[in-house]
Amino acid sequence: MSASGTAAAGQVEHMLRQVAPGRYDAYERLLHALADGRLWMLLWSGAPGSPDAQYGNMEVDGLGYAPCVTSAQELAASGWNRAHEVVTGRDIARALYPDRWGVWLNPHDPGGGVGIPWADLRRIATGLDRMPAGPLRLSEPALEIPQFYALLTQNAHRTPSVRTLRRAWVQPALGSPYLAIGLDLYDTSAASVEAVRAMMRQSISAVPDGLPVSTVAMSDAYDPVAMWLRANARPFYDRDAHAAPAAPHQGSGYGYGYPN
């Protein structure tokens, strides 16, 4: 292994030793180290790089994980006597998260190792700075900002690609809480996406100073905020409801609640 690869492995193991229950800051540093580091993935069958190669698997609390180790030294300590392959953290994150698999680091460790669930592999794959740090606390917003909701509803009604709008109050494990607006669109063409961005720009003027607001695509099957919204939040704007003949448009929303 190159000197840079050895250094990256050392950084992962250094951060791994700092992780403890409730230490979300240390866990976040571990994710950053993994993104730039390497993992020794344990193969249950097949050879490295072959089409029939299969990673090992384990289940913890209903979630699936592929076991791996963090260095050649840990591989020796694990006693694993089958094949393995060395991959970058980003590459294994991109490969595993779409099937909702995470990785479990050093399961042979006396403390049991550390699991990285698929939602955090997705953050590694798509950019840790683009998505909020979990676990997320999600709820209906308690904020009284009727002017913003009224203006957003009015602008949504004038934006044909918008089907529904939902809202949630998101409290990340690290960082400031924010208001998330869930966007359900009829299509995601470039023109539609640009129209929705213009809609948000036109509406954001009614947001009180200092209140972070972001958007999430309801079509994203992997986003935890979108998943929560689909399961728990009724739309505060629904084009079909507004279009009903017996319910003329009133020009305002009525009360319910990811940085770009």
Q: Which of 105, 130, 155 is the last residue in one of the domains? A: 130
Same domain, 213 and 108: no
Domain end call among 130, 155, 172: 130
98: domain CATH number is 3.40.1350.90
Residue 79 covered by a domain: yes
What's the per-residue H, E or C state across the chain? CCHHHHHHHHHHHHHHHHCCCCCHHHHHHHHHHHHHCEEEEEEEECCCCCCCCEECCEEECCEEEEEEECCHHHHHHHCCCCCEEEEEHHHHHHHHHHHCEEEEECCCCCCCCEEECHHHHHHHHHCHHHCCECCCEEECCCCCCHHHHHHHHHHHHCCCCEEEEEEEEEECCECCCEEEEEEEECCCCHHHHHHHHHHHHHHHHHCCCCCCEEEEECCCCCCHHHHHHHHHCCCCEEHHHHHCCCCCCCCCCCCCCCCC
Nearest to 30 by CA among 43, 12, 49: 12
Query: At 73, phi and psi to the nearest 5?
Result: -65, -40
| 255 pLDDT more than 50 | no
Mean pLDDT lowest for which of 114-118, 129-133, 178-182?
A: 129-133
For residues 63 and 78, state if they share a domain: yes
CA distance 132 to 173: 8
Averaged pLDDT for residues 26-32: 96
CATH of the domain at 225: 3.30.460
- Considering the domain architecture, whether residues 122 and 186 belong to the same structural domain is answered as no
Whether residue 116 sits in one domain with residue 177: no
Cis peptide before 98 (omega within 30 of 0): no
With a cut of 50, say whether residue 203 has pLDDT above it. yes
Q: Do 85 and 108 lie in a common domain?
A: yes
Q: Are residues 22 and 67 both part of a single domain? A: yes
- Where does residue 112 fall: left (phi above 0), alpha (psi -120 to 50 degrees), or beta otherwise? left
d(CA 37, CA 165): 39
Q: How far is CA 103 from the centre of its chain?
A: 15
The verdict on 65 and 109 lying in the same domain is yes
248 assigned to some structural domain: no
**12 and 114 fall within a common domain:** yes
Decide which of 130, 159, 177 is a domain's last residue.
130
Read off the pTM. Answer: 0.82
Q: What is the pLDDT of residue 46?
A: 87
Would 230 be classed as within a structural domain?
A: yes
Indicate whether 123 and 149 sit together in one domain.
no
Expressed as residue numbers, the domain containing 204 is: 137-243
In this structure, is residue 259 part of a structural domain? no
- At 38-70, the pLDDT tens digits run 999 999 998 888 888 899 999 999 999 999 999
Mean pLDDT of 190-209: 95
Q: Are residues 231 and 161 in the same domain?
A: yes
* Position 101 pLDDT exceeds 50: yes
Assess if residue 14 is contained within a domain. yes
Portion of the chain with pLDDT greater than 70, in percent: 89
Q: Check: CB of residue 216 under 8 Å from CB of residue 225.
A: yes
Same domain, 102 and 143: no
pLDDT attached to residue 260: 32
Same domain (yes/no): 148, 120: no
Counted domains in the chain: 2
Q: Give the mean pLDDT of the chain.
A: 89
Residue 109 predicted with pLDDT over 80: yes
